[in-house]
Chains A and B, each alone.
With several copies, the nearest count.
Chain A
């Protein structure tokens, strides 16, 4: 088997205030996989995600990306390869206009002029926000900010896309359009979500994190139909949805 592009081993982490959030997490994601990361509130999903590009530093265990250990010397390279869409779009947007914000990453990679503009507009068109290019991002609606936040990551064309609850606050059409984009890209995807039908639709594999450890890892269908596992970890299927009868979209 190839080396995993995301390789997390025995990862433990405590926040500076002493609260331990991860207790030995193992996760291996291979090139081109789309994996859903499920689990109750406070399970440690965001904490785990923030280790994947070195925002948090492992307290114990190790994290590596495409074989590179996540450590100071490799951070620039790793951040070029791993694009993270944060759970809170306000954590992602900081420049004065949408254009400057989406262009920020590629500009750091040395792209400029017409090429920069082309990439910015393409990313904004993907998320349906092209007409907002000259507005300040913090004056957009929450869902619009989420869409711009996704664009700031897409524009970097990362090899590995990590999305923390990307569909929350999106309107239903945008949610489906995001799924279409993710399916059309040839990248590795790790997606945190509480939207189980969305996970089933998009990710063949699911990992369940609960109380800071991995409690299940397998096909999404198997996870969602394992009733004991589901109730033990606050996962419930929403009103009117049954994975056994839901047919995949064409």
Chain B
């Protein structure tokens, strides 16, 4: 679903580009609280991981292909603002090093598949966390649902953008039905992968999951004196 050069008209591309620039600007400021010495590599890995996940392509109805997006996954792992930076970097790398997605459509791709999936995924995740009991075992499922919802929403936005700046009059109703239908399926795949990945990471490195930090309890350390330790 990476939009190539010339797919949307110039005004639409410029507008989405502006949205992307402003949001990244805000994210840069906000992310300072999420990003430190130890989380910088994490952000890089999440970007690499999202990149890998996006290589899994599904054939989609009207000739385009769909793939996993990873926005919700990134948001739960590193926090929403850093996630926006991660996803933006992924699209830049895909565009500049792999020629996937046009350079004039970079803003569109970032807005469509980065900002939207991160925002929707994170809001759903947080919403669920607020209404459900605060238990660490629920985190993977909450993340999975956030991921599931984020995908069809992004697909709808794609249809919207196409209506505004697309080349020609395809029947929008049909396009919307086809896109959303298919993307619910992709969303299920995205949800399952997000669920499994967050579950696996929580099991051995709970400290790496940003979305779980508020509900991680502090452990008490045991101190052994040399005499009692010598017996061990």
* A–B contact via C-beta, under 8 angstroms: yes
A213–B221 alpha-carbon span in the complex (Å): 13
Q: Decide yes or no whether B29 CB sits under 8 A from chain A.
A: no
- Please name 18 pairs of A and B residues whose Cβ atoms are closer than 8 Å in the assembled complex, sorted by A: A10-B223, A12-B221, A12-B222, A14-B221, A16-B206, A16-B207, A16-B208, A17-B206, A18-B219, A23-B224, A24-B225, A59-B221, A96-B204, A211-B229, A212-B224, A212-B229, A213-B230, A213-B232
B 189-232 to A, binary, CB cutoff 8 A, 1 in contact else 0: 00000000000100011111000000000010111111001101
Contacts of B222 in A (CB 8 A): 12, 20, 23
Q: In the complex, how many angstroms separate the beta carbon of A161 from the nearest chain B beta carbon? A: 23
Q: In the complex, how many angstroms separate the beta carbon of A76 from the nearest chain B beta carbon? A: 11
Q: A211-B229, A215-B229 are in contact. Are A12 and B204 (CB under 8 A)?
A: no
Interface residues on B, range: 10 to 19
Q: A13-B221, A14-B221, A18-B219 are in contact. Are A214 and B226 (CB under 8 A)?
A: yes
A20–B207 alpha-carbon span in the complex (Å): 15
Q: In the complex, how many angstroms separate the beta carbon of B112 from the nearest chain A beta carbon? A: 35
Most A-side CB within 10 Å, residue of B200, B205, B229: B229
Q: Decide yes or no whether A60 CB sits under 8 A from chain B.
A: yes
Q: Is A23 a contact partner of B207 (Cβ separation < 8 A)?
A: no
Number of A-B residue pairs, CB cutoff 8 Å, is 53
Chain B residue with the shortest CB-CB distance to A18? B219
A12–B178 alpha-carbon span in the complex (Å): 58
Q: Is A215 a contact partner of B230 (Cβ separation < 8 A)?
A: yes
The number of residues on chain A lying at the interface, defined by a beta carbon within 8 Å of a beta carbon of chain B, is 22
Q: A16-B207, A210-B232 are in contact. Are A96 and B223 (CB under 8 A)?
A: no
Q: Decide yes or no whether A136 CB sits under 8 A from chain B.
A: yes
8 Å CB interface, A18-70 against B: 18, 20, 23-24, 59-60
Q: In the complex, how many angstroms separate the beta carbon of A116 from the nearest chain B beta carbon? A: 22
* Known interface pairs A20-B221, A212-B224; 19 further A-B residue pairs with C-beta atoms within 8 A, sorted by A's residue number: A12-B222, A16-B205, A16-B207, A16-B208, A17-B205, A23-B221, A23-B223, A24-B224, A24-B225, A60-B221, A96-B204, A139-B204, A213-B225, A213-B229, A213-B232, A214-B226, A215-B226, A215-B230, A232-B230
Chain B residue with the shortest CB-CB distance to A13? B221
A215–B229 alpha-carbon span in the complex (Å): 7
Contacts of B206 in A (CB 8 A): 16-17
Q: Is A211 a contact partner of B232 (Cβ separation < 8 A)?
A: yes
Q: In the complex, how many angstroms separate the beta carbon of B24 from the nearest chain A beta carbon? A: 27
Contacts of B208 in A (CB 8 A): 16
A20–B223 alpha-carbon span in the complex (Å): 10
Most A-side CB within 10 Å, residue of B200, B207, B222: B222
- Contact residue among A14, A211, A213 (Cβ-Cβ distance under 8 Å from B219): A14
A213–B204 alpha-carbon span in the complex (Å): 25
Contacts of A13 in B (CB 8 A): 221
Q: Is B229 a contact partner of A12 (Cβ separation < 8 A)?
A: no
Contacts of A60 in B (CB 8 A): 221, 223
Chain A residue with the shortest CB-CB distance to B205? A16
8 Å CB interface, A203-250 against B: 210-215, 232
Contacts of A12 in B (CB 8 A): 221-223
Chain B residue with the shortest CB-CB distance to A23? B224
Chain A residue with the shortest CB-CB distance to B219? A14
Chain A residue with the shortest CB-CB distance to B225? A24
Q: In the complex, how many angstroms separate the beta carbon of B211 from the nearest chain A beta carbon? A: 16
A136–B204 alpha-carbon span in the complex (Å): 8
Contacts of A16 in B (CB 8 A): 205-208
B 87-100 to A, binary, CB cutoff 8 A, 1 in contact else 0: 00000000000000
A210–B229 alpha-carbon span in the complex (Å): 8
Contacts of A215 in B (CB 8 A): 226, 229-230
Contacts of A214 in B (CB 8 A): 226, 229
Q: Is B207 a contact partner of A213 (Cβ separation < 8 A)?
A: no
